[in-house]
Amino acid sequence: MKNEAKIPVANPRTGKVDFHITPASLDDVKTECQALRARQSEWSQLTSEHRANILLKLSATIAKHKDELIAALAADTGRYGLSILETDGVAASIKRWIKTVEAMIVPYEGRSSSLPFITYAVENRPYPLVGVISPWNFPLTLALIDAVPALLAGCAVIIKPSEVTPRFAEPLRQIISEIPQLDAVLTVVDGAGETGSALVDNVDVVCFTGSVATGRKVGEQAARNFVPAFLELGGKDPAIVLESADIDRASTAILRGSIINTGQGCQSIERVYVHENQFDDFLDLLVTKAKAVTLNTPDIHSGHLGPLIFARQAEIIQSQIDDAVAKGAVVHTGGKIVNAGGLWYPPTVLSNVSHNMTVMTEETFGPVLPVMPFKDNDQAVTLANDSVFGLSASVFAADADAAIAVGRRIEAGGISINDAALTALMYEAEKNSFKLSGLGASRMGAPGLLRFFRKQSFMTNTADIFTIQQFDETISKPE
């Protein structure tokens, strides 16, 4: 049984609605979750090697249906090259998790140091059912980023992708259906907020990626259910270019780290602080490089930047630029929506900015680079930390140790040194989100898998047991 009301989906390249989804109802979600939970027990009893082999089949089946998946992702997002990278990235992530899984989940045994006659063994018990709620900016990557380690851990998984980019779900469901053992424990449902909320009421763990506003609702709902929620939320990532930095390298890295995927990335560089002695030269380089970037319109197979995936984002970006300009910011390049049916936004470099402008305080989620000078490291750190967000940051210096020393003072989880936004390119380095950027164990590195287990310990007494008489209140009476 499905909800009657269909959800219209606009095409980011044309701006026209050309797709609909029928959201899963609360009853659909409940029924599906019960079925997944019932089948999870068998899945969890397979060896991890067996589960790994089934995940490898997922990788092979994605490769077989690559063209359909890429076409759907390209329609969802309006960009083609990154859709190929997203699809190829799934296989890479499966291989990476498999390589480390055995070492991570070995049970361990020991003996109590205070009571040496008690031995113990600790085992991992996977949570039965993990719910994944994902956003629209990297639809496939973020639907599977938590699902793959959860499945390897022995959990069943239900995924609800964003209603803004739902086209890839159908080819993904087709791929999953070709692997019956996986199909039994992995479901993708369509829907918007209501369906997402139904997931939170029916799963044992929630992995949520999205905005702070929704993350807060999800976190509160999960807490009421006593269900752990791992929240991966927004950012306003700063880049700091110290006086000693190679500004050619820094400007190239910061440009890429800011505008890739048209800036629609949680880890996008959204604020740039440059030492005052390098400021003018850095700005010149950045503006020159930004002007050389092209949009992928009218041809999806040319240019660097795709359209804005979610049209409403264009209003947010433009209102931030307009606010900045009204308060004295200078636009060096870009600064205006390009309407070609869909909405594109060119790389935009601003100077003469300050922290009373929304472009310096609120998440932009667009290819916008406001650049501000600083006098010394203390001021750079103060400016970088003047934010409600703490996702990641970048620091550039001639000497990596000098950059790391500044990085240690930044309230953010992932610090890229002499490059920008490296968390988008690699997944091994553990990191937590600081401040409003999220909550819960690291998605990267070993905890990304270990968070799907509860520990269960078996404690065995091999000697005489204690009697209640040994705990008699009278014997503890002071003389």
Catalytic residue numbers read 232, 266
Query: In the complex, what is the shortest distance from the CB of residue 220 to ligand NAD, in angstroms, rounded to a whole number?
Result: 10
Q: Rounded to whole angstroms, how far apart are CA atoms 421 and 423?
A: 5
461: left (phi over 0), alpha (psi -120 to 50) or beta: beta
CB within 8 A of 147, min separation 6: which ones? 130, 132, 157, 159, 186
Residue 124 vs 134, nearer CB to ligand NAD: 134
Output phi, psi for 48, to 5 deg: -65, -25
Residue with token string 């819960």: 440
E strands within 413-452?
414-417, 434-435, 438-439
d(CA 370, CA 392): 17
Nearer to ligand NAD, 184 or 311 (CB): 311
Nearer to ligand NAD, 370 or 414 (CB): 414
Q: Are 377 and 406 in contact (CB under 8 A)?
A: yes
- CB nearer to ligand NAD: pick between 136 and 396: 136
Nearest residue (CB) to ligand NAD, 191 versus 407: 191
Min. distance of Cβ 226 from ligand NAD in angstroms?
17
Q: Which of 137, 377 has the CB closer to ligand NAD?
A: 137
- According to DSSP, the residues that pair with 435 across neighbouring strands are 389
Q: Which residues pair with 207 in a beta bridge?
A: 132, 230
Shortest gap between Cβ of 266 and ligand NAD (angstroms)?
3
Burial of 378 (0-12, 13-18, 19+ CB in 10 A): exposed
Q: State the minimum distance, in angstroms, from the CB of residue 330 to ligand NAD.
A: 27
Identity of the residue, 192 or 330, whose beta carbon is nearer to ligand NAD in the bound complex: 192
Q: Strand 434-435 and strand 438-439: pairing?
A: unpaired
**Residue nearest ligand NAD (C-beta atom):** 196
Instruction: Render the burial of 123-138: b for 16+ CB within 10 Å, e for the rest.
Output: ebebbbbbbbbbbbbb
Closest contact distance (angstroms) between CB of 113 and ligand NAD is 40
Binding stretches for ligand NAD (CB under 6 A): 133-137, 142, 160, 162-163, 192-193, 196-197, 200, 209-211, 214, 217-218, 232-235, 266, 363, 365, 391, 438
Minimum CB–partner distance for residue 285 and ligand NAD (Å): 27
Closest CA to 65 of 220, 215, 173: 173
Task: Report cis status (omega within 30 of 0) of the bond before 447.
Answer: no
Pair of tokens at residue 100: 């480390």
Closest approach of ligand NAD to the CB of residue 95, in Å:
21
Residue 230, number of CB atoms within 10 A of its CB: 25
Q: How many CB atoms lie within 10 A of CB 338?
A: 16
